[in-house]
């Protein structure tokens, strides 16, 4: 028996709120045939069994159907996101409500569990231990890619052995892309296994018209915003530090944007804007240093700067430098590794083109080293490991020192750096995520009962009270387009980056100059699990702003 905190004990009894339609008798309503977001003909050809299916909406029905018992498998794929346990609980309750003889099996440590036949049955006792808790530890998660037919066939062996007729894959855009490929494959060979996806990722980049948010984004952003708010109050109290805070999120800046909308920092950089406006690193440094200098004129030698983790990839000049470094190191790696550490930097500078050499030489020692040392299995720099927060803090400091010498700046500049990511990924889900995830899982059970495959569980209208949420399913092929991956064109779910013409970014852009100079901080405080609905059930600012305009 695990030791539990008072909050854990109380929270275990929370009953997630669900759409009204999921509480009673459910009827399926089918929409018109669908098409993919682009590259329609190619995707149609690649997915002949799962292309063009209608969007499914669950509506209130009148006749109770009887369902045969079904064995279902579930996989947690990729990075942790708050609410995963409630997806599994919703799925469990959903299949049991249709037939109490149904059984749920969890594959251990992600897609690898399916391929390597590592599984456990999830019984009522186990599920109850994990209701409304954070983390993915009920079965663990993993980043193995389920992408080729050998793996699909290996998986099918264990599915057949356990008589599993449906598999639910809880993951981000890549895992759901692979869920769709698996659904198509099993449909083609007549395996008799349905595949359903669920939208997970704190990054918030798996979203579109039918999937309004990925689960976990709400809770993770609330955790980061709480801590940034605390930092803002700290720096507004001592008035001596500038805090440079990097936030997870991969390429997309949704997390940084959402946190900015919640806390009103002095600076938040949005990678997508940097790329669209062709900003250089120097432009970013000048912008931040300009804000620091302006606030110093008003006697405010403190502030906060939010930085999305993928920023470096979006600075066009650095992207070019990384590309040249990748090519160079791919061909001269052993020669490079023979060079003494202390001489590696000047060696690289000699080998690069003039433009890239100049940029590389201007980077702080640690970052220059990270760019040459850290490669993923495909030979790419792992940009998330680059300490952008330190890079910017150091370079802004250097710029201010230059300005001080020129008599243009007379403030004080002391920094603290932070990276927030892991702190929020396994937090106990907010009410929003607890409700949303449970509903996604229950909906997945409904899609299984109606014989669907190649669908993603979808719950919409989530800024309304939960009873009015709209549950159903969206064909995954509908979200796909063709993209170049590792040198080949592949069908993938279109990644959602921050839209510069979208309402949340526009809201930020309207206020950012005022927030830069004033001290207009908002202190969101910790997630509240018990209390008035306006405190406990608020969706993200992003969703509220997006849905207010409809
Ligand atoms: P997913 O895309 O799998 O949901 O991962 C989210 C994330 O937290 C990213 O924000 C971050 O870059 C990455 O995972 C970190 O990966 P890891 O957990 O392997 O260190």
Q: Is residue 3 part of a domain?
A: no
Distance of alpha carbon 413 from alpha carbon 296, whole angstroms: 9
Compute the distance from residue 171 Cα to the ligand 1 centre, in Å. Answer: 11
Mean pLDDT over the full length of the chain:
94
Compute the distance from residue 78 Cα to the ligand 1 centre, in Å. Answer: 7
3-state secondary structure (DSSP) of residue 23: helix
Q: Is ligand 1 within 6 A of the CB of residue 203?
A: yes
- 441 and 415 assigned to the same domain: no
Last residue of a domain, one of 444, 460, 485: 485
Q: How many structural domains comprise the chain?
A: 3
Q: Is residue 13 part of a domain?
A: no
Q: Is ligand 1 within 6 A of the CB of residue 384?
A: yes
Q: Is residue 490 part of a domain?
A: no
- 195 and 260 assigned to the same domain: no
pLDDT at 1: 55
Helical residues (DSSP H) of 239-340, grouped into ranges? 254-263, 271-276, 281-297, 311-314, 316-338
Distant-in-sequence, close-in-space partners of 140: CB < 8 Å, separation ≥ 6: 76, 108, 109, 110, 113
- 120 and 44 assigned to the same domain: yes
Domain boundaries, position 262: 218-309+387-421+496-550
Q: Can you give the three-state secondary structure of 126-145, one letter per residue?
A: HHHHHCCCCCCCCCCCECCC
Compute the distance from residue 417 Cα to the ligand 1 centre, in Å. Answer: 20
Compute the distance from residue 148 Cα to the ligand 1 centre, in Å. Answer: 23
Provide mean pLDDT across the span 475-502: 92
Compute the distance from residue 422 Cα to the ligand 1 centre, in Å. Answer: 9
- 302 and 187 assigned to the same domain: no
pLDDT at 365: 84
Distance of alpha carbon 148 from alpha carbon 182, whole angstroms: 9
Element (H, E) at 31: strand 26-33
Q: Is residue 11 part of a domain?
A: no
> Which numbered atom of ligand 1 lies nearest the CA of 425?
8
Give CA separation, 199 vs 132, 250, 472, in Å: 18, 16, 13
- 81 and 152 assigned to the same domain: yes
Distance of alpha carbon 83 from alpha carbon 316, whole angstroms: 36
Residue with CA at minimum distance from ligand 1 atom 12: 250
Evaluate whether 359 touches 281 at the Cβ level (below 8 Å). yes
Identify the bridge partners of residue 459 per DSSP, sorted by sequence position: 471
- 100 and 248 assigned to the same domain: no
> Which numbered atom of ligand 1 lies nearest the CA of 249?
10
- 89 and 167 assigned to the same domain: yes
- 209 and 226 assigned to the same domain: no
Q: Is ligand 1 within 6 A of the CB of residue 78?
A: yes
Looking up tokens 């300005």 gives 403
Distance of alpha carbon 305 from alpha carbon 500, whole angstroms: 20
Q: Is ligand 1 within 6 A of the CB of residue 110?
A: no
Q: Is ligand 1 within 6 A of the CB of residue 245?
A: no
Q: DSSP letters of 221-257?
A: HHHHHHHHHHHHHHHHHH---EEEEEE--TT--HHHH
Evaluate whether 326 touches 380 at the Cβ level (below 8 Å). yes
CATH code, domain with 147: 3.40.50.450
Compute the distance from residue 58 Cα to the ligand 1 centre, in Å. Answer: 32
Looking up tokens 């001592």 gives 238
Q: Is ligand 1 within 6 A of the CB of residue 170?
A: no
Q: Is ligand 1 within 6 A of the CB of residue 250?
A: yes
pLDDT at 330: 79
Last residue of a domain, one of 462, 485, 508: 485
Residue with CA at minimum distance from ligand 1 atom 16: 79
Compute the distance from residue 374 Cα to the ligand 1 centre, in Å. Answer: 17
Checking if the pLDDT of 380 tops 70, the result is: no
Compute the distance from residue 365 Cα to the ligand 1 centre, in Å. Answer: 26
Distance of alpha carbon 332 from alpha carbon 133, whole angstroms: 49
Percentage above 90 pLDDT, the chain: 84
From 350, 332, 378, select the one nearest 488 (Cα to Cα). Answer: 378
Residue with CA at minimum distance from ligand 1 atom 13: 79
Q: Is ligand 1 within 6 A of the CB of residue 172?
A: yes
Element (H, E) at 431: helix 431-449
- By DSSP bridging, strand 26-33 and strand 303-308 are unpaired
Ligand 1, pocket-test mutation among 174, 200, 203, most atoms within 8 A of CB: 203
Distance of alpha carbon 491 from alpha carbon 479, whole angstroms: 10
Q: Is ligand 1 within 6 A of the CB of residue 113?
A: no
- 291 and 340 assigned to the same domain: no
- 117 and 202 assigned to the same domain: yes
Ligand 1, pocket-test mutation among 205, 387, 421, most atoms within 8 A of CB: 421
Instruction: Give the DSSP letter of residue 131.
Output: T
Q: Is ligand 1 within 6 A of the CB of residue 202?
A: yes
The burial of 365, by beta-carbon neighbours within 10 Å (0-12 exposed, 13-18 middle, 19 or more buried), is given as exposed
Structure confidence at residue 529 as a pLDDT band (50, 70, 90): very high
pTM surpassing 0.85? Answer: yes
3-state secondary structure (DSSP) of residue 167: strand
Q: Which of 97-101, 117-121, 364-368, 413-417 has the lowest mean pLDDT?
A: 364-368
Instruction: Give the DSSP letter of residue 497.
Output: P
Residue with CA at minimum distance from ligand 1 atom 20: 79
From 418, 320, 421, 325, select the one nearest 373 (Cα to Cα). Answer: 325
Residue with CA at minimum distance from ligand 1 atom 5: 79
pLDDT at 375: 61
Element (H, E) at 417: strand 415-420
Structure confidence at residue 412 as a pLDDT band (50, 70, 90): very high
Q: How many CB atoms lie within 10 A of CB 451?
A: 10
Q: Is residue 301 part of a domain?
A: yes
Q: Is ligand 1 within 6 A of the CB of residue 310?
A: no
Compute the distance from residue 250 Cα to the ligand 1 centre, in Å. Answer: 7
pLDDT at 385: 77
Ligand 1, pocket-test mutation among 83, 223, 250, most atoms within 8 A of CB: 250
Ligand 1, pocket-test mutation among 76, 77, 78, 79, most atoms within 8 A of CB: 79
Cα-based torsion angle of the residue sequence 281, 408, 418, 376 in order, rounded to the nearest 10 degrees: 20
CATH code, domain with 372: 1.10.10.480
From 438, 463, 467, 435, select the one nearest 534 (Cα to Cα). Answer: 463
Distance of alpha carbon 71 from alpha carbon 103, whole angstroms: 5
Provide mean pLDDT across the span 274-300: 96
Q: Which of 169-173, 191-195, 325-329, 412-416 has the lowest mean pLDDT?
A: 325-329
From 106, 181, 109, select the one nearest 151 (Cα to Cα). Answer: 181
- 27 and 107 assigned to the same domain: yes
Catalytic residues: 203
3-state secondary structure (DSSP) of residue 279: coil
Evaluate whether 139 touches 148 at the Cβ level (below 8 Å). no
Q: Which residue has the higher pLDDT, 146 or 296?
A: 296
Handedness of CA 345, 346, 350, 356 (dihedral sign): positive
Cα 255-256-259 angle, rounded to 5 deg: 85
Query: pLDDT digits over 12-37, tens only?
Result: 999 999 999 999 889 999 999 999 99
Evaluate whether 345 touches 305 at the Cβ level (below 8 Å). no
Q: Is ligand 1 within 6 A of the CB of residue 428?
A: no
Q: How many CB atoms lie within 10 A of CB 31?
A: 12
Q: Is ligand 1 within 6 A of the CB of residue 206?
A: no
Provide mean pLDDT across the span 314-329: 87
Distant-in-sequence, close-in-space partners of 238: CB < 8 Å, separation ≥ 6: 302
């Amino acid at each position: 028996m695990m030791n539990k905190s008072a909050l854990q004990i109380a929270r275990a009894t929370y009953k997630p709120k669900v759409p009204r339609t999921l509480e009673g008798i459910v009827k399926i309503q089918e929409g018109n045939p669908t098409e993919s977001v682009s590259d329609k003909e190619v995707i149609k050809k690649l997915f002949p069994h799962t292309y063009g299916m209608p969007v499914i909406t669950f509506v209130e029905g009148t006749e109770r159907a009887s369902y045969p018992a079904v064995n279902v498998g579930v996989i947690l794929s990729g990075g942790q996101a708050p609410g995963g346990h409630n997806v599994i609980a919703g799925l469990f309750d959903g299949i049991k409500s249709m037939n109490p003889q149904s059984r749920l099996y969890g594959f251990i440590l992600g897609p690898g569990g399916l391929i390597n036949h590592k599984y456990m049955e999830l019984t009522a006792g186990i599920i109850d231990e994990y209701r409304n808790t954070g983390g993915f530890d009920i079965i663990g998660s993993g980043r193995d890619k389920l992408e080729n037919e050998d793996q699909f066939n290996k998986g099918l062996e264990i599915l057949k052995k356990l008589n599993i007729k449906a598999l639910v894959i809880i993951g981000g855009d890549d895992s759901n892309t692979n869920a769709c490929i698996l659904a198509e494959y099993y449909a083609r060979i007549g395996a008799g296994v349905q595949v359903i996806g669920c939208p997970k990722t704190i990054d918030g980049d798996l979203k579109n018209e039918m999937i309004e948010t990925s689960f976990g984004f709400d809770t993770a952003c609330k955790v980061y915003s709480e801590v940034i708010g605390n930092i803002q109050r700290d720096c507004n109290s001592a008035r001596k530090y500038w805090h440079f805070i990097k936030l997870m999120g991969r390429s997309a800046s949704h997390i940084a944007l959402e946190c900015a909308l919640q806390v009103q920092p002095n600076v938040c950089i949005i990678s997508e804007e940097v790329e669209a406006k062709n900003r250089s690193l120097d432009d970013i440094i000048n912008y931040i240093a300009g804000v620091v200098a302006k606030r110093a004129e008003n006697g405010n030698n403190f502030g906060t700067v939010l930085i999305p983790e993928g920023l470096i990839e979006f600075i066009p000049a650095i992207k070019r430098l990384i590309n040249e470094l990748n090519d160079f190191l791919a061909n001269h790696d052993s020669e490079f590794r023979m060079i003494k550490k202390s001489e590696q930097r000047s060696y690289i500078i000699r080998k690069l083109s003039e433009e890239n050499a100049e940029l590389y030489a201007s980077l702080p020692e640690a970052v220059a080293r990270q760019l040459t040392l850290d490669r993923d299995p495909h030979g790419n720099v792992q940009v998330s490991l680059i300490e952008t927060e330190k890079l910017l803090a150091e370079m802004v400091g250097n710029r201010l020192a230059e300005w001080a010498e020129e008599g243009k700046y007379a403030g004080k500049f002391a920094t603290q750096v932070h990276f927030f990511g892991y702190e929020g990924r396994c937090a106990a889900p907010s009410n929003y995520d607890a409700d949303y995830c449970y509903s996604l899982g229950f909906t997945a059970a409904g899609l299984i009962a109606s014989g669907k495959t190649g669908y993603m569980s979808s719950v919409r209208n989530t800024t309304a009270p939960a009873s009015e949420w709209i549950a159903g399913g969206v064909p995954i092929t509908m979200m796909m387009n063709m993209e170049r991956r590792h040198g080949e064109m592949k069908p993938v779910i279109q990644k959602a980056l921050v839209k510069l013409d979208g309402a949340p970014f526009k809201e930020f852009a309207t206020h950012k100059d005022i927030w830069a100079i004033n001290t207009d901080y908002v202190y969101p405080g910790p997630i509240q699990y018990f209390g008035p609905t306006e405190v406990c059930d608020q969706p993200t600012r992003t969703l509220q702003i997006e849905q207010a305009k409809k």
